[in-house]
Chain A
Amino acid sequence: MTHEQIIETLEAAFAGQLSDCDTAHGISSITIPAAANLKVLQFLYDSEDMQFRFLTDLTAVHYPNRTNEELCVVYHLHSLYLNKRLRLKLYVPVAAPKVFTASKLFSGANWMERETFDFFGVDFVGHPNLKRILNVDEMDYFPMRKEYPMEDPTRIDKDDEMFGRGGTIC
């Protein structure tokens, strides 16, 4: 099965719900609606032709300029049967970042979701133990969001203008 056939199979099963399907650097990327994440994951898991039964990675990306879809949750799936990788993305608003947990389907998703919650504040609905994992429990913000700059803003010798991509956060 090629990447195109995987995308076609998914499109047939979830007509009109997928967007931004492309294949680059040997991996297909598909954007799915946030509410349908478990249905798509389960479909890919159960499909005898594809068998996407290995969750390689789960993380998030913050795009502050995308209004109402600031947070992007990214799943990297691997089908050991086809030896193909697949990237699923879904966007949720930063004000109410609710995504259904995949930890029932993949035990390995448990800590990956906790890490994503810890750094981005994505609320994985139904997660058995959604609390901070790498940061201290008392922390009251989500540090990987783009509004938290890396350098101390009062230090002029560490001006982002010189080191990063300019003074703005993105």
Chain B
Amino acid sequence: MSAHIHLDEASIQKQTTTLNLGPTHPATHGVFQNILEMDGERIVSAVPTVGYIHRAFEKIAERRPYYQITPLTDRLNYCSSPINNMGWHITVERLLGIKTPKRVDYLRVIIMELSRIADHLVCNSVIGVDTGALTSFVYVFEFREHIYEIFEAVCGSRLTTNIGRFGGFERNFPQEAFDKINKFLEAFPRGMKEFESLLTRNRIFMERTMGVGGISAERALNYSFTGPNLRAAGVDYDVRVAQPYSSYEDFDFKIPVGTTGDVYDRFLVRNQEIWESLSIIKQALEKIAALEAADPSQKEVFYAPEADKYHLPPKEDVYTKMEALIFHFKMVMGEIEVLPGEIYSAVEGGNGEVGYYLISDGGRTPYRLHFRRPCFIYYQAYPEIIQGSLLSDAVVTMSSLNLIAGELDA
């Protein structure tokens, strides 16, 4: 050993290896750093570091009029931004006491369930990639593209959607959107079955995921797990059923639960939820058709009339009518009244309960807005889950938790 290098005795005696996993490791899908203490291939302990893409959304939200906060929510869980957008809209509507028409609720349900499918497809196909099966990933990404095309037809954007407004949508769904939804409903089940046949009973995939990264129901609850990760551990808590919003109580669907809370169970729960989401979308289309058949004027209902004060006027009116222009300006400058109040409202996001804790003091902007970000809360269980497992299992466990760096770091 060179005379210039002085290592203290403890470090020479050290039996374990320190390994830096991340922050920009291809297997971590986002900026996650873990400092692992390894004994051979086994993980002795892990110290996660988060906050690499922290963008101070809660602080920014204190200086933005209410409608400008919707694009901030896009950038939390960007795999299912419409759910975040609508969760925020529903929060403000609840605070204002706005009741949305049934057709708006059902249209929202369609969009939210489509985004849930997109979110679950990304997560589950990536579990496949991390176990060495790239094919399945490529198969289902075609359908994620179809979903984004539907979003594009409805609101004009794809990933960070800023979809909808307080009280409903900015404009009615074009026929093109319904055509695309119907086309998706027709084509997707075949692709989904193909995806499942590639992985679900695949011996290699099962060996890699069963008994890996498991968590008991008790520990999951203690760690405030929500979403598919909690359900995989066997607790049937789903905000859509427990505290329904957007008329979810009108729908008939099952909440799939697992038993062991391991990677395989999470995978199965998500797959099952995709099928349930498909059935919800079909039911929503039927309900909308029934509404329109009973009253043809329903076809034009895309926002709550009582939300008029909070709803940007149509663009063509802004360009041609003076009142609309004045009103548009007022809204953009945030001159709309929101009564003082305090509310916690939650929706079932792609990876768990997305909550909004809003305090309004009657000003143009929230006095305080806190986002309950599900993956920030459950990621802290990661060191406990992977302790004693192999490094390769830790990577699979991470992708099965459906961690979204944007949401984690706010």
- Please tell me if the beta carbons of A57 and B355 are within 8 angstroms of each other in the complex: yes
- Please tell me if the beta carbons of B54 and A135 are within 8 angstroms of each other in the complex: yes
Using A160-B63, A164-B365, A165-B365 as known contacts, say yes or no to A80 and B235 having CB atoms under 8 A apart. Answer: yes
In Å, the complex CA distance between A35 and B223 comes to 24
Q: Which residues of A contact B380 (CB under 8 A)?
A: 107-108, 110-111
Chain B binder among A9-17, A36-44, A143-151: A143-151
Q: Which of B51, B364, B372 contacts A164 (CB 8 A)?
A: B364
- Please tell me if the beta carbons of A112 and B54 are within 8 angstroms of each other in the complex: no
- Please tell me if the beta carbons of B58 and A133 are within 8 angstroms of each other in the complex: no
Q: Which residues of A contact B222 (CB under 8 A)?
A: 53, 106-108
Residue of A nearest to B409 (CB): A134
Instruction: Give the interface size bracket for A toward B.
Output: 35 or more
Q: Which of B54, B60, B62, B381 contacts A134 (CB 8 A)?
A: B54
Chain A binder among B105-113, B130-138, B265-273, B337-345: B337-345
Interface residues of A in 108-159 (CB under 8 A from B): 108, 110-112, 115, 119, 132-136, 143-144, 148, 150-151
Q: Which of B235, B343, B367, B377 contacts A111 (CB 8 A)?
A: B377
- Please tell me if the beta carbons of A54 and B224 are within 8 angstroms of each other in the complex: yes
- Please tell me if the beta carbons of A26 and B243 are within 8 angstroms of each other in the complex: yes
In Å, the complex CA distance between A119 and B368 comes to 13
How many residue pairs bridge A and B at CB < 8 Å? 110
In Å, the complex CA distance between A56 and B376 comes to 12
Q: Which of B56, B243, B355 contacts A76 (CB 8 A)?
A: B355
Q: Which of B50, B225, B343, B364 contacts A133 (CB 8 A)?
A: B50
In Å, the complex CA distance between A116 and B58 comes to 12
Q: Which residues of B contact A148 (CB under 8 A)?
A: 59
Binary interface profile of A, 62-98, with partner B (CB < 8 Å = 1, else 0)? 1000000000001010001001010100000000000
In Å, the complex CA distance between A6 and B410 comes to 33
Using A25-B94, A53-B221, A134-B409 as known contacts, say yes or no to A162 and B333 having CB atoms under 8 A apart. Answer: yes
Residue of A nearest to B95 (CB): A25
Q: Which one of B62, B345, B364 has the highest number of Cβ atoms from chain A below 10 Å of its Cβ?
A: B62
Interface residues of B in 296-333 (CB under 8 A from A): 333
Task: List 16 additional A-B contacts (Cβ < 8 Å) besides A57-B372, A134-B410, A165-B365.
Answer: A25-B345, A53-B221, A56-B224, A56-B355, A57-B355, A61-B368, A76-B355, A83-B242, A107-B222, A108-B222, A108-B223, A108-B224, A108-B377, A108-B381, A144-B58, A163-B334
User: Can you list 23 pairs linking A and B with CB atoms under 8 Å apart?
Assistant: A24-B342, A25-B95, A27-B344, A54-B224, A57-B370, A59-B357, A74-B357, A80-B237, A85-B344, A87-B344, A108-B225, A111-B376, A111-B380, A112-B377, A133-B50, A134-B409, A134-B410, A135-B54, A143-B59, A144-B58, A163-B334, A165-B365, A170-B361
